[in-house]
Amino acid sequence: MAAAVIFAVLYVAVIAEQSPATGGGGWRTTTFGSAINDPGSFLRVLLDSITFAGALFIVASGFALIFGLMRVVNMAHGAFYLLGGYIAYEIQQTMTGQGFSIPSAEVNTWDWLVPLFVAVPSIAVVGFVTQQAFLRWNQGQELRQALITIAISVIIADQIIAHFPRSVSTGAQRLGGNAVDLTWPGWTDRLVDLHVWGVYYSLARLVMLAIGAAVGVGLWLWLYRTKTGMVIRAGVDDQKMTSALGINIQRTFAIAFVVGSALAALGSVVWASQGNIASGQDAQWLLNSLVVVIVGGMGSIFGAAAGAILYAFVLDFSGSYLPTAGADCCTQYSPIFTFILIALVLAFRPRGLFGRDG
């Protein structure tokens, strides 16, 4: 296994070759060539994965927070993600008064921040209602709670198709969960000169990374430097003992669920501004959150960060550095590499990299 990992690293570093102008190429042929020959592209892919890890971390840390404290696998996390993105899209459409696709020059900072500040509390409320109505009274029944959140995710995902996106509907005919873009504020829509190997890199993606890092630092300060955070960490370790000490654990649960859901919406706004938001992505982001948490381990934001970075690396590098020869040019094998990542981590650490028994 170690040999396979070393081979993968060597492949990216020196073995890969840029595809010739004509002809098929062989097993060494990739889009960019090796890191030695084409360091600029390598750096760009590296930055792509790190910035994507920022978005991944935002969404997955919310999932991990809920799971770590309450042992609730919130299967509706992906649906919350989707709903948050669509709500933000509607607000941005209304504010800019633009049509289907907005040029980023038309979007100022407020046109991006206000949708964010509406979508995040909305999903926090949805999360709060879900937790209070459906999960509060059956604490400890892990499977039943997972099934309940699956049912909720089915309902939300279907209602999204029925009602979103509103602003591009024409009369009675709705467009039913179509792909739409949020738009970053205009000032982020430029390339920054990194002064390394002549690489220019998207400022928007760097902003995304900064938001991810800010969420990470914020969560760390909250969990490790405040009283609420202390209670949450105590709850992760021993729920019964914590409540026996006179702490209102139900209140802590509610707070954690609200924050966790809000992070799904925040991540959604950030990533939908970079890519898009479309019906069906709830499955994608549920998978993303699950992989990050399975790889990283439970109950610690370091686990979520490590999981997000590893997963983003595997996705982006397998997308960019797999052989692209011949008729097989358009196949994406990256999902298989995700499976290999999970298999490798679980083979050595059944509870994830930072997971603890219990």
**Using omega within 30 degrees of 0 as the cis cutoff, is the peptide bond preceding 323 cis?**
no
Kindly state the number of chain residues that form the binding site for other proteins, as judged by CB under 8 A. Answer: 48
> Is beta strand 17-18 parallel, antiparallel or unpaired with respect to 200-202?
unpaired
Nearer to other proteins, 25 or 319 (CB): 319
Nearer to other proteins, 71 or 233 (CB): 71
Ranges within 44-103 binding other proteins (CB under 8 A): 71, 73
> Is beta strand 191-193 parallel, antiparallel or unpaired with respect to 29-30?
unpaired
Nearer to other proteins, 91 or 135 (CB): 135
Residues 6+ apart with CB under 8 A from 131: 253, 254, 257, 258
Residues 239/81, Cβ–Cβ less than 8 Å: no
- Tell me which stretch binds other proteins (CB under 8 A): 30-38, 48-56, 206-214, 278-286: 278-286
- Tell me which stretch binds other proteins (CB under 8 A): 51-59, 90-98, 134-142, 198-206: 134-142
Ranges within 298-337 binding other proteins (CB under 8 A): 328, 330-336
155 binding other proteins? (CB under 8 A): yes
What distance in Å separates the CA atoms of residue 93 and residue 101, rounded to the nearest whole number? 9
Among 109, 159, 248, 250, which residue interacts with other proteins (rule: CB under 8 A)? 159
Q: Position of tokens 């991540």?
A: 267
Among 162, 170, 240, 246, which residue interacts with other proteins (rule: CB under 8 A)? 162
272 binding other proteins? (CB under 8 A): no
List beta partners, residue 201. 192
18 binding other proteins? (CB under 8 A): no
Q: At its nearest, how many Å lie between other proteins and the CB of residue 336?
A: 6
Question: 17 by DSSP, 3-state: which?
Answer: strand
The DSSP secondary structure of 280-333, one letter per residue, reads THHHHHHHHHHHHHHHH-SS-HHHHHHHHHHHHHHHHHHHHHS---GGGGG---
135 binding other proteins? (CB under 8 A): no
Residues 109/185, Cβ–Cβ less than 8 Å: yes
Among 290, 304, 306, 309, which residue interacts with other proteins (rule: CB under 8 A)? 290
- Measured in whole angstroms, the distance separating CA 57 from the mean position of its chain's CA atoms is 6
Q: Give the CA diameter of the chain.
A: 73
Among 283, 324, 325, 353, which residue interacts with other proteins (rule: CB under 8 A)? 283
Nearer to other proteins, 102 or 286 (CB): 286
Q: At its nearest, how many Å lie between other proteins and the CB of residue 284?
A: 8
Copy the structure tokens of residue 26: 């062989």
Question: 36 by DSSP, 3-state: which?
Answer: coil
142 binding other proteins? (CB under 8 A): yes
Q: At its nearest, how many Å lie between other proteins and the CB of residue 11?
A: 20
Binding site for other proteins (CB under 8 A): 71, 73, 134, 141-144, 146-148, 150-155, 157-159, 161-163, 280, 282-284, 286-287, 290-291, 293-294, 328, 330-336, 338-339, 342-343, 346-347, 350-351
